[in-house]
Every structure is written in C-alpha cells, then in structure tokens.
Amino acid sequence: MTRVMFQIRFFGIMRWVVIAVLVVATVFPFYYMLLLSVKPIDELLLDPGRIWVSVSEFSVDSYRSVLTSVENGGQGFPRMLRNSAVVSIGAMLLTLLVAIPGAYAVSRLRFTGSRKVGALFLGVYLFPATLLAVPLFVMFAKVGLQGSLVGLIIVYIAQTVPVAIYMLRSYFSTVPVSIEEAAALDGCSRFDILRRIVLPLAAPSVMATALYVFMIAWNEFLFALLFLAAEPDHWTVSLGLQQLANGVEVPKTVLMAGSVVLTLPVVLMFYGAERMLTEGLTSGADKS
Amino acid sequence: MTTVTERPAATDPAPPRRPTRNLRRREENRTGVALVSPTLLIVLFVVVLPILWTVMLAFQNVRLVDIQSQGLWGNWTLQNLERVFGSPGFWSSLWTTLVYTIGSTLGSIVVGLVAALALRKPFRGRALIRGAMLLPYVAPVVAVAFVWQVLLSPDLGVVNHWGTEWLGWDRPIAFLTQRSYEVLGVPVPMALFTVIAFETWRYFPFAFLFLIARMQAVPAVLEEAAVVDGTTPWQRFRFILLPQLLPVVALLCVLRFIFTFNKFDDVYLLTGGGAGTDVVAVRVYRFLTARFDVGLASAQAVVLAVVLIVLLGLYFKFFGRKVQEEQS
C-alpha cells in the first residue's frame, strides 16, 4: 500500500471516529441533564451508572418543584423567568436602537474620528468585566440602581453594543451604495434611507444580531450576581439557579430540571435561526 | 453625480461645485457624529469612565463603606499595589491564570480545527451534527457548569461510576476538588486540568465556526491540482490548507486569549477558585464581595489588565508582522 493510499484510508476512518467522539462529547452532557431532570433522586443514588430512565420511574416532580412559586413551596422559577425575559428583551431592544444608527454611521459615513470610534468599540471588548465590576458596583450603589433590573439592562447594553455594531456593520456595507444614492436624489433624508431602504434589506442580519444580544443577556452571570444577589425578587434564572445550588441541600435532580428550564429557551431560539446567527458572527472571517 | 463632484479640483481652475460638495461633506459629518453619539455616550458612561475610576481607586485606600462619604479624590497611596504584589497568593494566582488561559486557548483552537476538518466535506446529516456541536457554546454557563459538576461528582457522577467499574480506577476521582492527583507517578494538577478541559469543551465551537467559514472560502482548484500531483492528505493540509487558515488561527488565538484571561464565571461556578484554580478574576471578586475592599480589588483588576495589555503587545510585536507576511 502506498503512502497516499494509506493516508487516505487512515484519515477516512479517523474522520468518522472524530465525528463520533465530538458528537458524544457535546450531546452527552445535555442528554444527562435531561435524564437526571426526570429521574427520582433515590433511583439516581441507587444506580448512578444507568443512563436511561424506565417508564415506571419517570417523574416530573423536579419540574413541578422548580416551576412552583415560592409562596406555594416551590423554587419560584416563573418569576425568575419573567425577570430574565424582561432583562434580555429590554437589553435586546435598546441595544438595537443604539447599535443600528451607530453601525450605519460607521459603515457608511465619513465623519471626524470615525476610525477612532471603531477602535474604541473594539477596545471595549478587550477590557475585563472584572475591571468594570468594581466601579459599576459602587456607582450603582450610589445612584440607587443596585438591585434593580434597569441597572442590569444598562450594563448589558454596554456589553453587547460593540458585538452588535460589529455584526451589523459588515452587513450594512453589503447594501449597494447606488440604491441609497438613488433614494437621496429622490429626496429621501438619511433617516428615511436608513429606515426605508437599509433596514429592510438588512432585516436578516438585524434579526441575527437581536437574537445574539438576547442570548448574551440571558446567559450572563457575573453582573447579575454582583448587582442582584441581595434581591431575591429580582433574580434572573442563571442567578437563581446558582443561589439554589449554593443554599440548603437541594437534590441534584431539581438542579438539573432548573438547568433544563434555563437552557431550553436559548437553545430553541438558536436552532430557529442557526444559519443566520453563525453567518452573522463569522462574516468577515473568510476575509481576515 | 458623485463622479462629477469627485473629479480632482486641480483640473478645474474654478470649481463651481465646491460649495455643494463641502456642504454635503459637512452634512455627512454631522449625521455621522449624531448617529454614533448614543453608542458613544453609553460606552463612555458604562465602560470608559468606570475603567478610569478603577485605575483611580487602585491608588486609594477605600472600602465600600467609606466610598459614600468620601469624594472622588481620596488619599492617594501605593499601598494597594504593594499589597497585591506582596501577597504570596498573587503570583501563584497569576501563574494559574496563565496556565489556564494558554491551555484553554490552545485546546479550543486545536479541537475546533480538528472538528472543522472532520466536517469539511458534505455528508448526510452534516447540518444536524454541526448544530449539535454548537450546543456547548450556546448554552448558559450556569447550566453547563452544573452538569459537569454532577457528571464528575465522586459519589453520584456517571464518569466516576464508569471509571471505577470499567476502567479499573481504585477509587473515585474528585476532579473538581482535588488539587493534585498522581498519574503513573507523575503529579497532575487535577482541578486545573478539569477547568481547562471544560473551557476547551465550551469554546471549541467558536473556533470551529470561524475555521469552517474560512475553509469554505479556500479555492478548490488548489487542492485538486495537488491531488493530481499525487500528494498525501497530510501534505495537502500542511502546505495548502494550513497556510490559508493561519490568519484566522492568529485572530482566534488573540480573541480566545483575551476572553479566557478575563474569565470569571466558568471557574467560579465550577470550583469557586479552590483546589489550585484561583485565577485572578475570581480573586478580584472575592476581595470585592468578601472583604468589601474596593481599593485592593481595583488594584488587582488593574494589574490583570496591564498584564494582558503587555502580553498582547508582545504578541503583536513578534507575531503581528509574521501573520501579515503570511497573508500577503
């Protein structure tokens, strides 16, 4: 067998081995999460090595506990889900409101300091969140935003605006300039051009950016922990779950049910728009 | 219209359209500034000013309780920095951060590259598998950290159960709480190793996405020609594909290094910074919340940022040029 033949066979086999290993490695933890969430804790302790659930032991008690409000003796996730939704949707809408004009300006208009602005948005990205955590913690304590969802939304806007501008700008620049010029000749103002021409054409990328911002806000943990830990009424799902794990002994099966509740919305959303999201994120990768 | 206005002025002795052009320029400039200013304001107030303030706080002796009464200009001191550099925990923590960052960056890029190569050619079900591979990146960190904790738990985790049952482990391994573990007589930093594995698992999809996007843009002709010349698959990867990927790999190295270096939540949730995984970001959080020592926490955060900037500077000095050469 020649070297070429050998390598073709070898890599041909290795390719499938790699695919199998990677699929197991990525999917198994999520399968395990689901599995434990529908298993009674005694069954798990009895035989931790069994990775399926029989019909007789299948139970949704963990979900019942997680999804019952605190007043009724549950873990109160419905309120946390509402908080998470408020914060994520709020951050998403406000980020778009701010980022769309910004991205348009950066991608289309020549203005004083436009290059510096681009660099600044990138630089923001590079500073550690822990560096911001200290002064924001103090600032919010001073102006009374500590423990409020509004404070959290403001932080998330600042965290997501650079990403949003980066994603939108590469798409805006694919809209042909000639269309905009024609509109300008017809008497459209800049604002009209942006609203009536650029936005409809860039709708998919605006959607992708919106979802991405939503995901970042939904998954965020550090700032929620810093600002909201003392306010159980305002906990987001991430924070609530972590506090639940930290507190009195809670069965692992309940924790896993909580994890499923936390994970499901983003995963569903992501698969609804996977292609759009990955293209929005990596556009430009093939040019770099 | 643009072609007319943009004709070089030198050929036109008295350009009649200049005033309109200037007007348009000025209008464009004004609109541009107006459109960016909301973003600029937010970034200024929630990012730039806080960073500047942290730098100031790093040189002041403040605790959270004093800050209400004290003005912006407190007593300036170098005490915080002395305490940061003087504490024995700091250097080991910085070292841990470096090992963790380099390990996770390399790990995620290598696994991402292998995944991208395996999924490069189309096959039935590729879209489905590609989607599955992005799961760890998309899922909330709190949820995945807890699943790993349960998976690796010594008493009810399935990994240890299988390990003792099938792989012949003497006793369960405390992956996340044991500082060091002997493998064939060599001590391995167990908990640190596990967090690196977690980080690799969580972020290889990011590298995978960027690499596969770039691979799709490599012209097929290049490789077809090489096949005709009788090259082996390895040679084609090494001499044709890899050079094309290098700029993206370099970009990924920088991005992943920055993000991991500053990472707080992954380590905090998995180990709480115990068992030899005390990265600097977690230390900052602890100084802030356990001791309310704002000055010390700030000093620590500033040192972290400075180290990162210095490392990035070195990287660009030595590799920035090389990458550009590869590209041209």
Tens-digit pLDDT profile for residues A209-235: 899 899 999 999 999 998 898 888 999
Residue A288 domain flag: no
- Euclidean distance between the first and the last CA atom of chain B, given in angstroms as a whole number: 35
Residue B122 per-residue DSSP state: -
Nearest CA in chain A to B230: A4
Interchain contact, A130 vs B304, CB within 8 Å: yes
Buried/exposed code over A171-196 (b: 16+ C-beta within 10 A; e: otherwise): bbeebeeeebeebbeeebebeebbee
* Residue that the structure tokens 């030595």 belong to: B318
- A72, exposed or middle or buried, with CB in 10 Å at 0-12, 13-18, 19+? exposed
> In the listed set A59, A84, A101, which residue is the last one of a domain according to the structure?
A59
Q: Can you tell me the mean pLDDT for B109-119?
A: 96
pLDDT confidence of A288, banded at 50, 70, 90?
A: very low
Cα→Cα distances B294→A31, B55, B62, Å: 42, 11, 6
Rounded to the nearest angstrom, the minimum Cα separation between A77 and chain B is: 14
Would you state the pLDDT for residue B69?
A: 62
Contact B136 A26 (CB under 8 A): yes
Alpha-carbon distance of A193 to A185, in angstroms, equals: 11
Residue A219 lies in a domain: yes
Min distance A38 CA to chain B CA atoms (Å): 14
- Binary contact (A109, B68; C-beta < 8 A): no
Of the pLDDT bands very low, low, confident and very high (cuts 50, 70, 90), residue B181 is confident
Chain A: closest CA distance from residue B50 (Å): 5
**Structural contact between residues B214 and B245, judged by C-beta atoms closer than 8 angstroms:** yes
pLDDT above 70 for B262: yes
Residue A208 forms contact with B (CB below 8 Å): no
B289 vs A162: CB contact, 8 Å cut-off?
no
Asked whether residue A181 is domain-assigned, the answer is yes
Distance CA B64, CA B297 (A): 11
B273/chain A closest Cα distance in angstroms: 14
pLDDT more than 70, % of chain A: 97
Mark out the alpha helices in B48-157 (DSSP H runs).
Answer: 49-58, 64-67, 79-86, 88-118, 126-133, 135-138, 141-152
- Which residue among A59, A83, A98 closes a domain? A59
Average pLDDT, chain B: 84
Lowest mean pLDDT among A11-25, B187-201, B298-312: B298-312
Residue B173 Cα, gap to closest chain A Cα (Å): 15
In a domain, A287, yes or no: no
**Together in a domain, A23 and A48:** yes
Residue A254 lies in a domain: yes
Query: pLDDT band for position B11 (50/70/90)?
Result: very low
* Interchain contact A263–B (C-beta under 8 A): yes
Q: Do A93 and A117 reside in the same domain of the chain?
A: yes
Q: Are residues A156 and A236 in the same domain?
A: yes
Of B29, B51, B265, the CB nearest to A112: B29
SS3 A49: coil
Q: What per-residue confidence (pLDDT) applies to B199?
A: 97
Contact A134 B302 (CB under 8 A): no
**Contact A136/B132, CB-based, under 8 Å?**
no
The alpha-carbon gap from B189 to the nearest alpha carbon of chain A, in Å, equals: 22
CATH code at A137? 1.10.3720.10
Expressed in percent and rounded to 5, the helix, strand and coil fractions of chain A are: 75, 0, 25
What is the helix (H) or strand (E) element at residue A196, kind and residue range?
none
Whether residues A137 and A266 share a domain: the answer is: yes
Burial class (CB in 10 A: 0-12, 13-18, 19+), B262: buried
Residue A136 amino acid letter: L
Mean predicted confidence (pLDDT) in A41-55: 83
Give B185 or B133, the one with higher predicted confidence: B133
In this predicted structure, which of A7-16, A249-258, B184-193 has the lowest mean pLDDT? B184-193
Contact at CB, B135 and A131, closer than 8 angstroms: no
The answer to whether the CB atoms of A161 and B42 lie below 8 A apart is: yes
Record: contact A102-B39, CB cut-off 8 A: yes
Question: How far is Cα B102 from Cα B97, in angstroms, rounded to an integer?
Answer: 9
Same domain, A156 and A265: yes
Q: Within this chain, do residues A125 and A164 fall inside the same structural domain, yes or no?
A: yes
A266 and B139 in contact by Cβ < 8 A?
yes
Q: Which helix (H) or strand (E) holds B183?
A: strand B181-183
In a domain, A65, yes or no: no
CA distances from B133 to A145, A218, A219, B193 (A): 39, 20, 18, 22
Range name among A43-47, A56-60, B322-326 with the lowest pLDDT average: B322-326
What is the per-residue pLDDT for B7?
43
Put simply, the answer to whether A8 touches B233 (Cβ < 8 Å) is yes
8 Å CB contact between A65 and A257: yes
Residues of B in contact with A8 (CB under 8 A): 232-233
β-bridge mates for residue B182, sequence order: B187
Confidence at A145, pLDDT banded by 50, 70, 90? confident
Residue-level pLDDT at B73: 63
Burial environment of residue B240 by CB neighbours within 10 A (0 to 12, 13 to 18, 19 or more): middle
Rounded to an integer, what distance in angstroms lies between the CA atom of residue A143 and that of residue B177? 40
pLDDT at B209: 92
Residue B9 has pLDDT above 50, yes or no: no
The answer to whether residues A121 and A262 belong to one domain is yes
Mean pLDDT on B4-25: 56
Cβ <8 Å between B51 and A215: no
Query: For B28, which of A22, A51, A111 is closest by C-beta distance?
Result: A111
- What pLDDT is recorded for position A239? 95
**Residue contact B39–A165, C-beta within 8 A:** yes
Residues of chain A found within 8 Å of residue B158, distances taken between Cβ atoms: 32, 48-49, 51
Which residues does chain A have within 8 Å of residue B231's beta carbon, measured at their own beta carbons? 4
pLDDT at A125: 67
A48, A120, A190: residue with CB nearest B43? A120
Interchain CB distance below 8 Å, B305 and A128:
yes
- From chain A, the residues in CB contact with B132 under 8 A are 23, 26-27
Question: What is this model's ipTM?
Answer: 0.91
Q: Output the pLDDT for position A175.
A: 80
pLDDT, tens digit (0-9, with 9 covering 90-100), for B36-68: 888 888 888 888 888 888 888 888 877 766 666
- Does one domain contain both A103 and A174? yes
User: Looking at the predicted structure, is the pLDDT value of residue B5 above 50?
Assistant: no
How many Å apart are CA B56 and CA A149, to the nearest integer?
28
Q: List the structure tokens of A239.
A: 């924070």
A64: in domain: no
Give the residue-averaged pLDDT of A8-30. 95
B68/A48 Cβ within 8 A: no
Q: How confident is the model at residue B72 (pLDDT cuts 50, 70, 90)?
A: low
**The pLDDT of residue A21 is above 50:** yes
Q: Which domain holds residue A44?
A: 3-59
Q: Which helix (H) or strand (E) holds A186?
A: none
- Same domain for A157 and A267: yes
The more confidently predicted of residues B266 and A54 is B266
A274 and A131 in one domain?
yes
A-chain residues near B35 (CB < 8 A): 101-102, 104-105, 109
At B320 the pLDDT is 64
**The pLDDT of residue B67:** 66
- Which among A38-42, A79-83, B252-256, B313-317 has the top mean pLDDT? A79-83
Same domain for A52 and A159, yes or no, is no
Is residue B310 classed exposed, middle or buried when 0-12, 13-18 and 19+ CB atoms within 10 A define those classes? exposed
What pLDDT is stored for residue A87 in this prediction?
96
A121–chain B Cβ distance below 8 A for any pair: yes
3-class SS of residue B35: helix
Structure-token match 């007589």, residue found: B185
A202: in domain: yes
Question: Which of residues A151 and A188 earns the better pLDDT score?
Answer: A151
Helix (H, G, I), strand (E, B) or coil at B77: coil
Same domain, A130 and A267: yes
- pLDDT at site B3: 41
pLDDT digits (tens, 9 = 90+) for B120-154: 988 999 989 998 999 999 999 999 999 999 999 98
* pLDDT for the residue numbered B1: 38
Instruction: Give the pLDDT confidence of A152-203 residue by residue, as tens digits.
Output: 998 898 888 888 888 888 788 878 888 888 888 888 887 788 888 888 888 8
CB contact under 8 A, B147 and A33: yes
Number of domains in chain A: 2
* Length of chain A, in residues: 288
Confidence of residue A79 (pLDDT cuts 50, 70, 90): very high
Of the partner residues B36, B67, B143, the one whose CB lies closest to the CB of residue A117: B36
**pLDDT reading at B98 higher than 90:** yes
The alpha carbon of residue A263 is apart from the nearest alpha carbon of chain B, in Å, by: 6
Which distant-in-sequence residues (6+ apart) come within 8 Å of A89 by Cβ? A214
Task: Identify the structural domains of chain B with CATH numbers, from first to last.
Answer: 36-327 (1.10.3720.10)
Amino acid B19: pLDDT:
65
What mean pLDDT do residues B250-262 have? Answer: 90
pLDDT of residue B323: 53
Chain A segment 10-29 residues within 8 A of B by beta carbon are 11, 15, 18-19, 22-23, 25-27, 29
